[in-house]
Amino acid sequence: MTPLRAQAGRTARRRLGLAATALVAALLAAACSANADEPADSLVGKANDAGALTIGTRLDQPGVGLRTVDGRYTGFDIDVATYMANELGVDSENIQWKEITSATRESALTSGEVDMVVGTYSITDERKQEVAFAGPYFETGQDLLVRSRSTDITGPSALDGKRLCSIKGSTPAERVKEEFAQDVQLVEYNRYTDCIPALLTGQVDAMTTDAVILAGYAADNPELLRVVGEQFSEERYGIGLRKGDSEGREALNKAIEKMITSGAWKQSLSRNIGPAEYPIPQPPKITER
């Protein structure tokens, strides 16, 4: 073979090798892109491998999710989360509770700060752009909490001229003002727990959020506070997990169904919300598949 032909052969082989390398890189990039929505580890895998889970929840809602002064975790959401973890093989003592707010739920999930969220987390199309949901495990709606002796507030339309507790950035209170009572006065606080003493002392006339949350506050003060009982929205609580975790969602849906059929779901609601005479609703049907 002449030197010229040998050089041409080496050039051809080099070009072929570069082309093959480029093809492999393209295939890997496509694979990574196709799996971009898949979590690095499913909830089921994390539970199996670590034997522990970090669960995000609200800890300022009596009857739903509360950390007591002696360090205990109580409430319906706590019971649901504990049941889910147990069904995944994680003992109660291996749950790490992480308090989150409405504004930090998505970021806590996507960053891996928590493995799942069980904390009055309403399923919405907007949120499903960032995270996945199992459930729902409970359905409720927006309502009003008033003093027991307040008989003139029968629903949101009766709030004109009244003072309504509003949490900074609260959409429930804004909904009342926009849709039902344009002359209502919104009085802002940082947390719903700040509304309770204001309501009890007459600084505000009512507070609004989901009925089951209000029922928890009423259960804490059954002789002083009551839920009006006129729901004017629909909220479906789901368990949040990382987007793309179909295995985790399927496992949680099965656990929710088992909690309902076993009677543990109703028992938890009766124990945590029953003192407020909150009517226990029918269990929801799983829709997030």
Confidence of residue 67 (pLDDT cuts 50, 70, 90): very high
Domain parsing of the chain, residue ranges: 43-141+234-276, 142-227
Q: Would you state the structure tokens that stand for residue 249, as one six-digit string?
A: 């969602």
Share of the chain above pLDDT 90, in %: 71
Q: For residues 67-95, give the mean pLDDT.
A: 96
pLDDT (0 to 100) of residue 30: 43
- Choice among 21-25, 50-54, 61-65, 224-228 with the minimum mean pLDDT: 21-25
pLDDT (tens digit per residue) in 143-158: 999 999 999 999 999 9
Q: For residues 200-229, give the mean pLDDT.
A: 93
* CA-atom Rg of the chain in angstroms: 26
Work out the mean pLDDT of the chain and round it to a whole number: 87
Fold matches, 43-141+234-276 and 142-227:
yes
Residue 287 makes CB contacts below 8 A (sequence gap 6+) with 135, 136, 236
CA dihedral 107, 112, 116, 120 (to 10 degrees): -20
261 φ/ψ angles, rounded to the nearest 5 degrees: -70, -25
**139 half-sphere exposure, CB direction, 13 A CA radius:** 12
pLDDT (0 to 100) of residue 179: 94
Cβ pair 239, 117 in contact under 8 A: yes
pLDDT (tens digit per residue) in 139-195: 999 999 999 999 999 999 999 999 999 887 677 888 899 999 999 999 988 888 899
Question: Would you give the DSSP letter of residue 122?
Answer: B
Has residue 27 got a pLDDT over 50?
A: no
Has residue 37 got a pLDDT over 60?
A: no
Cβ pair 204, 164 in contact under 8 A: yes
Confidence of residue 103 (pLDDT cuts 50, 70, 90): confident
Mapped onto helix, strand or coil, the DSSP state of residue 246 is helix
pLDDT (0 to 100) of residue 192: 86
Residue 77 makes CB contacts below 8 A (sequence gap 6+) with 57, 58, 61, 64, 65, 118, 119, 120
Q: For residues 70-95, give the mean pLDDT.
A: 97
Cβ pair 98, 57 in contact under 8 A: yes
The CATH number given to 142-227 is 3.40.190.10
Q: Give the CATH class of 43-141+234-276.
A: alpha beta
Confidence of residue 28 (pLDDT cuts 50, 70, 90): very low
Query: What is the C-alpha separation between 40 and 215, in angstroms, rounded?
Result: 39
pLDDT (0 to 100) of residue 279: 85
